Amino acid sequence: MMDADWIAFHPSPKKPDFILPKGAVDAHCHVFGPAAEFPFAPERKYTPCDAGKDKLFELRDFLGFERNVIVQATCHGKDNRALVDACRAAGDLARGIASVGPDVTDEELTDMHDAGVRGVRFNFVKRLVDATPKEVFLDIAERIAKLGWHIVVYFEAADLQELVPFLESLPTVIVVDHMGRPDVTKGVDHPDFQRFVDLMARNQNIWTKVTCPERLTVAGPPYDDVIDYAAYIVERFPDRVLWGTDWPHPNMKSHMPDDGALVDYIPKIARTREQQEKLLVANPMRLYWAQ
């Protein structure tokens, strides 16, 4: 049974007014179960509704995306079967980001690579996972680097300062989820957001997803209070940004976004056709489909 306060994904999103460029990639989305086939992990912090691959692919086609990057959701722990199944079912149209522990075997990594997995996610968000020691993450990083994979990191803005030395020690490309979750009441010029900007400026291997206005907003839809932050990052680092829907939107408590309206937000943060092409096509293709 899903959590009593769980909000399910939007049943009938609008058709976006913004026409996505050909070959656009939804570079941040998840699958949940279905639980009858792919049970949720015992150590999970939430129990969601089912949101399987068929629904994801339907949404991809409806919104006008061509490809997905599916990120292992914490409700599945380190059991990547639902993710791998979705990647295999999509053929070349999906890539995956897995979650693995130190005991993962080389054979398991190779199998996942074969299915389309190209990275692992290190999660520091305390409400989602129990803490993993940094040495464990570093060991995993060394191993997956050999496969040409990269690392997606998810943390709260308050934890960035402490994480900087660790992030700067990682050997691969790093993709930071949701711009490091800035507090959008503080302003783009606030030292907290500028600390994140400086991190990207110093490290050419650090990318970010300019995603999740629906999580970062205080004002609510249409998320105008988040635009300046994302537009700033897209303008400054056009070759190191990714975008995704975050469907099926785990742990949204205030409201459930309309995925079509989220697509209509893209031209507000990537204002030129060139920026849109990079954000939606060239960047994700370079990172996920080059090998």
Query: Annotated catalytic sites, by residue?
Result: 246
Least Cβ distance, residue 86 to ligand 0GY (angstroms): 14
Residue from 26, 177, 214, 259 that binds ligand 0GY (CB under 6 A)? 177
Strand ranges, E, within 33-149? 67-71, 94-98, 117-123
> How many residues contact ligand 0GY, by CB under 6 A?
9
Please name the residue that has the structure tokens 């295999």. 88
Concatenated DSSP letters of 162-187 = HHHHHHHH-SS-EEEGGGG---TTS-
Least Cβ distance, residue 198 to ligand 0GY (angstroms): 23
Least Cβ distance, residue 275 to ligand 0GY (angstroms): 23
For ligand 0GY, which is the closer residue by CB, 251 or 275? 251
Residue from 118, 122, 241, 246 that binds ligand 0GY (CB under 6 A)? 246
Least Cβ distance, residue 71 to ligand 0GY (angstroms): 7
Judged by CB under 6 A, does residue 250 bind ligand 0GY? Answer: yes
Least Cβ distance, residue 40 to ligand 0GY (angstroms): 11
* Dihedral sign for Cα atoms in the order 213, 92, 65, 275: positive
Q: What is the DSSP letter of 255?
A: -
Measure the CA–CA gap between 95 and 91, rounded to whole angstroms.
9
User: Can you name the residues that pair with 263 across neighbouring β-strands?
Assistant: none
Judged by CB under 6 A, does residue 26 bind ligand 0GY? Answer: no
The amino acid that residue 198 corresponds to is D
Measure the CA–CA gap between 55 and 88, rounded to whole angstroms.
15
Chain positions 65 to 84 lying near ligand 0GY, rule: CB under 6 A, are 73-75
Chain positions 112 to 151 lying near ligand 0GY, rule: CB under 6 A, are 128
User: Can you name the residues that pair with 119 across neighbouring β-strands?
Assistant: 97, 150
Please name the residue that has the structure tokens 């783009």. 188
The amino acid that residue 276 corresponds to is Q
Torsion of CA 35, 39, 41, 45, to 10 degrees: 20
For ligand 0GY, which is the closer residue by CB, 75 or 226? 75
Judged by CB under 6 A, does residue 206 bind ligand 0GY? Answer: no
Q: Which residues bind ligand 0GY (CB under 6 A)?
A: 30, 73-75, 128, 177, 246, 250-251
